[in-house]
Structure 1
Amino acid sequence: MQGEINGISPTIVKTLLAKQGITAKTVSKKAKPLFGSSGKAIKPADIAVFSRQMATMMKAGVPLVQAFEIVADGLENPNLRKMVLQIKDSVAAGGGFANALREHPKYFDDLFCNLVDSGEQSGALETMLDRIATYKEKTEALKAKIKKALTYPIAVVIVAIVVTGILLVKVVPQFAETFSGFGADLPAFTLFVLHLSELAQAYWLYILVIMIGSVFAVKELARRSPQFAYMIDKYILKLPIIGQIIYLSILARFARTLATTFAAGVPLIDALTSVAGAAGNKIYADAIIRVREDVSTGIQLNTALKARGIFPTLLIQMAAIGEESGALDAMLDKVAVYYEEAVDNMVDTLTSLLEPIIMSVLGVLVGGLLIAMYLPIFQLGAVVG
């Protein structure tokens, strides 16, 4: 008899089959498709939905293994459904929820696994899953706002490049043929645009490859070189409006992550380690590591934050109040809400500013090229007149 069953390892598969009264002679891993896995990719938003559904099931008093089955049945993403069933099988075999999640590090980071582990150890898994779900939902909402903020500037650049390229390669050459029969000197601006058009026609493919290659090169260099990543992150924070949005999102993420982990009973030093990993910016990740080192020597959190010189007064003061009152997680949660709302407002501001900027940029580019092409015609008309 042959068959298929979901399992993380051959040992777990044999254990599951043994519980069903089946003794497996051989267990082998199913070969993957030649051209990658089928179905949809598992996105962070999917993990947020999974977290909320599991929290809801646990609140309703559904046993853990049964909760996995119910959640899996309602999932549309086949790859996510398969992973949830694998986690269920591991838990059913006695592996523990947190350990089952650690078998999928691509989708469940140390922070997620540690919080679940804390919930299992304290017997408050239901409460912990609810906190995790809220944290994941807030995090994904913040990411969506950042993507929205970055989409507009990127769109402006892409549209400007495409429009300029089409004009230089397709439109300007037609004027160049007309000007060749004028027998008169052309204006300097027109000559500049004509030379630019010749370059674009001759090297457009090389220019395109260099532009795309530069983007990938910067990404790869930032991944390989911490110094380069630090420099890029520092430059991004200095960008007008966008830099401020990134800055506010870092603070919101810092406060939200620290509030969630600390409320879960994770020691502050360990919580700061998780926060550093979720910072999303090399400058602040390094600063948080130094804060953790200071706190480990007995220095208060607010003092350690102030010593770094890059955290705002509001965050430092709220941390001080939280430490004095014994409600650090509650104070940090309020800070997170404040900065999340600030990100919302900044994104709305950016959107309203960029709409006229897009029209202005395109107007200057198209208008400038058209003026350059019609200048000789205007001059010729003046001479004839």
Structure 2
Amino acid sequence: MSETANWAWQARDGDGELRRGTLAAESAAEVASRLRSEGRTVIAIDRSVATSRGIEGRGFNIPGRVDREATASMIRRLSVMLEAGVPLPEALSIEVESTPALASELDTIREAVEGGAPPSEAFSAFPRVFPPVATGLLRAAEAVGDLPGMLARLADWLQRERRLHRQVRTALAYPVLLAVVGTVITLLLVTMVMPRFEAIYAQRQASLPPITEFVLGIGRGIVDGWAAWGPALVAIAIVTPFLTRTAIGSRVLEWCRFNLPIVRNVVRPADLARATRTLGLLLAAGVPLLDAIGICRGLSPWSRWLRFWDGLEAGVRDGEGMAGRFQSGDLVPSSVRAMVAAGERSGRLPEVLERVADGADEDLEIAVKRVGVVLEPAAILVLGSVIGLVAIALLLPVFKMGSTVG
């Protein structure tokens, strides 16, 4: 019999609130099963160690970054080996050697499978590596006896999710990069160039125009106040990530995400693609509709999407079907709602959802390109205006002194 250990866990309740705690169990799979039976969506599970402050997870509070590309490649190799007739425990042993980053997780999964646990239960013990979508597909595979095929579908889904995440990150990083470059150039002007001109004007006892006084005043304020605003900026940079985890910070972040034009135009098609592709994949795999909706609900922490999935689930339970609830809210365009209704009537909902996701992917690519098209000239205009203002302010006294000498 396995030794009972303490396990630290993170999970979301049915209302979307993040919870933490510890459980005594023989395996991470048992912890995951107990949490799901309580209606919670598992986020992370880790073996705990005793400390002077009680029980804490080893590396649990700050989990390492999961390489989705490596995970997808590993799952695809598992699919190929199973297709070739390699038993799952043996395939997992091979991947323990081939994928060092996931060796610990894969070895634990192998031990669970050899002990008689279903693959879905064994994989569900590591939701940070294998999300709930993986568990749902594996359960469906166990029901229909097509584990290699489901693993191939899961690998495709993970790779598309990775590509989607990369597109969104690239689009949203571009304006940040432009802002940083513009700020650095402006700071160099006011802290290195302007003081030299100010010294020249002081030696010549030149009469300075108001615009020059204004610009030099800003430069002096930045240089003289460095000891105050420098640490303040560092403190803001450190504290901001923690503030976004509070209830108020989360609401502010969500408002920006769904209302700022540049951000909204990128994340909306990305959210739609993720939601419809995942739901379509689960339904095509034979996952029951209510279970598929529950899995999709765990994909997004944003309250608008949580309400959307709750409404969808309520509509299905009440016998309304999906189409009626797809037509509520502003997350789904009217054209998509009509397509979902048609797919539901024709019995081809999974295929329709996949087509919707493909269309959302195209919209995302257009939005990403548009960010560059709009922001690049805007950034050049703003940066050019700032540099031009500083140049005019600094050169006006020079021209004035030249005309006086002449």
Q: TM-score, normalised by structure 2?
A: 0.79
In structure 2, do the counterparts of structure 1 residues 289 and 384 end up closer, same or farther at CA, with 3 Å as the change threshold?
A: farther
| Greater alpha carbon shift after TM alignment, 123-132 vs 197-206 | 197-206
- 1:285 Cα offset (Å): 2.8
1:223 alignment partner, SS class:
coil
The whole-number CA distance in structure 1 between the counterparts of 2:234 and 2:372 is 26
> What's the offset of the Cα at 1:85?
2.6
Task: Answer yes or no: is the 8 Å Cα contact 2:75–2:155 preserved in 1.
Answer: yes
* Displacement after TM superposition at 1:212 (Å): 4.3
Aligned-pair CA distance for 1:275: 1.7
Match of 2:345 in 1: 324
Matched, 1:162 2:198: no
Q: CA deviation at 1:147?
A: 1.0
The answer to whether the 8 A contact 1:168-1:197 is kept is yes
Question: Which residue of structure 1 aligns with residue 263 of structure 2?
Answer: 242
Q: Check the 8 A contact 1:236/1:243 in 2, yes or no.
A: yes
Question: How large is the RMSD of aligned CA atoms in angstroms?
Answer: 2.9
Of 184-193 and 209-218, the range deviating more from structure 2: 209-218
Deviation at 1:331, TM superposition (A): 0.4
Greater fraction of residues in strand: 2
Task: Write 1 or 2 for the structure with the bigger share of helix.
Answer: 1
Paired residue for 1:264? 285
Picking from 115, 121, 137, the partner of 1:115 is 137
**2: distance between equivalents of 1:143 and 1:149?**
10
Residue 65 of structure 1 corresponds to 89
The Cα shift of 1:364 comes to 2.5
The amino acid across from 2:150 in the alignment is M
| 8 Å contact kept, 2:280–2:350 | yes
Cα deviation for residue 157 of structure 1 reads 0.9
Which residue in 2 is equivalent to 1:91? 113
1:41 Cα deviation from its structure 2 partner: 4.8
In the aligned structure 2, how far is the partner of 1:336 from the partner of 1:64? 32
Aligned residues of 1:102 and 1:108 also touching (Cα < 8 A):
yes
Residue 222 (structure 1) aligns with: 244
Matched, 1:194 2:213: no
2:101 equivalent in structure 1: 79
The answer for unaligned runs of 5 or more in structure 2 is 1-6, 8-23, 28-46, 51-57
8 Å CA contact retained: 1:250, 1:281:
no
Task: State the shift of 1:376 in Å.
Answer: 1.3
Q: Which 5+ residue runs of structure 1 have no aligned equivalent?
A: 1-7, 13-27
1:82-111 deviation digits (Å, cap 9, x = unpaired):
332332222222233222223223222323
Distance 1:231-1:42 versus aligned 2 partners, 3 A rule: closer
Number of aligned positions between the proteins? 355
Give the TM-score normalised by structure 1.
0.83
Q: Give the superposition deviation at 1:366.
A: 2.5
Spell out, residue by residue over 1:323-361, the C-alpha distance to the aligned partner (whole angstroms, 9 max, x if none). 101111110000001111211122123234444344333
Q: Which amino acid aligns with 1:168?
A: V
Q: CA deviation at 1:29?
A: 10
TM-superposed CA distance for 1:204, in Å, is 2.8
Q: 1:339 aligns with which of 317, 339, 360?
A: 360
Checking the alignment, whether the CA contact within 8 Å between 2:326 and 2:332 is kept in structure 1 is: yes
Find 1:287's aligned residue among 305, 308, 324.
308
Q: Which moved more, 1:198-207 or 1:129-138?
A: 198-207
> Is the Cα contact below 8 Å between 1:160 and 1:365 reproduced in 2?
no
CA distance in 1 between counterparts of 2:151 and 2:93 reads 17
- Any idea what the Cα deviations from partners look like across 1:253-286, whole Å, max 9, x if unmatched? 1111111122222222222222222135432232
Match of 2:390 among 351, 369, 383: 369
CA distance in 2, matches of 1:231, 1:293: 28
